[in-house]
Structure 1
Amino acid sequence: MMFDGFSLEIVKLADATLRVRHGGAGPPVLLLHGHPRTHTTWHRVAPILARHHTVICPDLPGFGQSSVPADAWESAGSSKRAKAGICVALMHRLGFDRFAVAGHDRGALTAFRMAMDHPASISHLVEIDGIPVLEHLERCDSRFATEWWHWFFFAQPDKPERAINVDPQAWYGGSAEAMGRENFEDYQAAISSPHVVHGMLEDYRAGLTIDRRHDAEDRARGLRVECPTLVLWSLRDDLERLYGDVLAIWRPWARHLQGRGIDSGHHVAEEAPDLLAKAILDFLA
């Protein structure tokens, strides 16, 4: 049974309504999924972490069964700053004033923004398959544009929704065998909702506009992540191949940095859960 012993609830906050799974006992750790997954992508990792920690897994705003932010100029409601504030409010509602956060893919961007904007709340930061969006865009070359073309397609108005909604399963892929049956069914329900697809794409639109500006403003001010930071990347994905030394990119952004690659493809929580959970536990210990 997926997330055996965990509770599932809907939490209504001032700026969002979130579907949240939580369980375990001990120091709190918040897990943030990526695109196009929901919180159930953590179903193989969360129970391992819950042996030593209280684990909280929400659907990010705009994803899964959480509320989709209203459309706004520069997709401001889907900015990582807005989502960071919502996630901090969630943790405070659950009784945690200070906690660790781990984010994968798009969730890594929100986790980074949480550490930058709310340093008093974040004890540890784990970045999985991510670098600040500004660093992605400033390093954009023909390889990035060829392999990550979807960033720019997703940022266009209307057209990506029309393309994806014709056949979401063909667009996004995935299988019950690889993901686990319940996780796959939850994911299928999300990508089959045009409303959710729009919310997920707004995350990318914000990335190319307001998120980029927030990163640039923070860099100009000399701000850095002050808490201990662990950066992990999938060795069978393309982050290291595109950028070489991933930690070199992170050093100007994080004061207390460590990291390494993990032998996995992109969806590491599903493909290498034991390796990922051990890396997180060792870091938090």
Structure 2
Amino acid sequence: MFEGFRDEWIDVGEVGLRVRHGGDGPPVLLIHGHPRTGATWHRVAPLLVAAGFTVVCPDMRGYGRSGKAPIEDDHLQQSKRTVARDLHTLMTKLGHDQYAAVGHDRGCYVALRLALDHAGSVRKLVVMDGVPISEALSRCDARFARDWYHWFFFAQRDKPERAILADPDAWYAGDPTRMGEENYAEFWEATNDPDTVKAMLEDYRAGLGVDNDHELADRAAGHTVACPTLFLWSTRDDMEVLYGDPLAIWRRWAPGLRGVPIESGHHMAEENPEALAAAVTGFLRQPDRPSSDSGQFGGEPR
């Protein structure tokens, strides 16, 4: 994986981050979701490098081989604001004062937080397979509680760790054939490590508390994403089932929005990297000014 990339441990303050980076051109930060590591991008990153971008693939704090911070009572150590600050510091240390932020799953919440808290540095935003946490919680009904029960189970104290660590392979059930052997090996290492499992659960505990509070404060203050934004969703996931038109939700947060569906299950970076890379590349090559639902690139816009 990641042939030609540098693989480093970089101190960003409270923790150190494991990061792979390579390429030459405009910088793109790729932010993974749960329970993946930066290795989930191993099929996408080389395609973006070949398209002329510098690509940065960290393990977020708490995930993979990156550092785990001491747990705070309010779980602020794993809040999206704190993780975003880590990643902004990382990009600055790598010499990238401005960059595109691309986030999938839990990583899309971090990418959104980067665009809100570090607006002067994030020139373009890509969010995938998620809506803002506060929007999901405000729409929580019986179907959401049934299909996304893990949000609420993971937020409980101690019990999810005991359940997961009793049989991590059964709980997470990764597929080395679909994921790629090396990516799966990193995933397996992470999901079988008690410290990493606890830190990943802290992501969800922060989500139902401080992260939701931060988003509600943004909405009350009228804060929105200033840069052009692309929303990508997997056609075989449940975005439209849960939310109807997720683009309508995202437009409240990102006026300069457009969207492209990707023919894939949830883990699109592993299942359809070519289509994902094409959509991201086309979007990043567009002029930086916000343009809602105009033009076309890498897929059928909506």
Name the TM-score class by shorter chain.
over 0.9
Show the counterpart of 1:67: 67
Show the counterpart of 1:232: 232
CA-to-partner distance for each residue in 1:125-149, whole Å, 9 max, x for gaps? 0001011100000000011000000
Aligned residue for 2:228, secondary structure, equals strand
Aligned residue for 1:114, secondary structure, equals helix
Show the counterpart of 2:203: 203
Answer whether contact 2:236 2:266 (CA < 8 A) is retained.
Answer: yes
Q: CA deviation at 1:69?
A: 2.1
How far apart are the structure 2 equivalents of 1:240 and 1:18? 34
How far apart are the structure 1 equivalents of 2:268 and 2:252? 26
How far apart are the structure 1 equivalents of 2:70 and 2:107? 19
Show the counterpart of 2:13: 14
Deviating beyond 4 angstroms after TM superposition, the runs of 4 or more aligned structure 1 residues are: none
Show the counterpart of 1:92: 92
Aligned residue for 1:8, secondary structure, equals strand
Q: CA deviation at 1:240?
A: 1.2
Show the counterpart of 2:23: 24
Q: CA deviation at 1:96?
A: 0.5
CA-to-partner distance for each residue in 1:7-34, whole Å, 9 max, x for gaps? 1000012121000000111000000000
Show the counterpart of 2:54: 54
Give the structure, 1 or 2, with the largest relative contact order (CA under 8 Å, sep 6 or more).
1
CA-to-partner distance for each residue in 1:187-237, whole Å, 9 max, x for gaps? 100001000000000000000000000000000000000000000011101
How far apart are the structure 1 equivalents of 2:229 and 2:215? 17
How does 1:1-285 map onto structure 2 within 5 Å? 2-51=1-50, 52-285=52-285
CA-to-partner distance for each residue in 1:170-193, whole Å, 9 max, x for gaps? 100111101000000011000010
How far apart are the structure 2 equivalents of 1:257 and 1:279? 14
Aligned residue for 1:178, secondary structure, equals helix
Q: CA deviation at 1:255?
A: 2.0
How many residues get paired? Answer: 284
**Letter in structure 2 aligned against 1:130:** G
Stretches of structure 1 that go unaligned for 5 or more consecutive residues are none
Aligned residue for 1:127, secondary structure, equals strand
How far apart are the structure 2 equivalents of 1:130 and 1:25? 30
Aligned residue for 1:183, secondary structure, equals helix
Q: CA deviation at 1:159?
A: 0.2
Q: CA deviation at 1:241?
A: 1.1
Instruction: Give the root-mean-square deviation of aligned CA atoms.
Output: 0.6
How far apart are the structure 1 equivalents of 2:217 and 2:149? 26
How far apart are the structure 2 equivalents of 1:134 and 1:10? 33
How far apart are the structure 2 equivalents of 1:230 and 1:27? 17
Q: CA deviation at 1:284?
A: 0.2
How far apart are the structure 2 equivalents of 1:257 and 1:182? 35
How far apart are the structure 2 equivalents of 1:42 and 1:204? 22
Q: Which moved more, 1:8-17 or 1:144-153?
A: 8-17
**Letter in structure 2 aligned against 1:19:** R
How far apart are the structure 2 equivalents of 1:175 and 1:130? 22
CA-to-partner distance for each residue in 1:98-155, whole Å, 9 max, x for gaps? 1001000000000000001110010000001011100000000011000000000000
How far apart are the structure 1 equivalents of 2:211 and 2:190? 24
Aligned residue for 2:84, secondary structure, equals helix
Answer whether contact 2:103 2:111 (CA < 8 A) is retained.
Answer: yes
Q: CA deviation at 1:163?
A: 0.4
Stretches of structure 2 that go unaligned for 5 or more consecutive residues are 286-302
Aligned residue for 2:174, secondary structure, equals coil
Answer whether contact 2:260 2:279 (CA < 8 A) is retained.
Answer: no
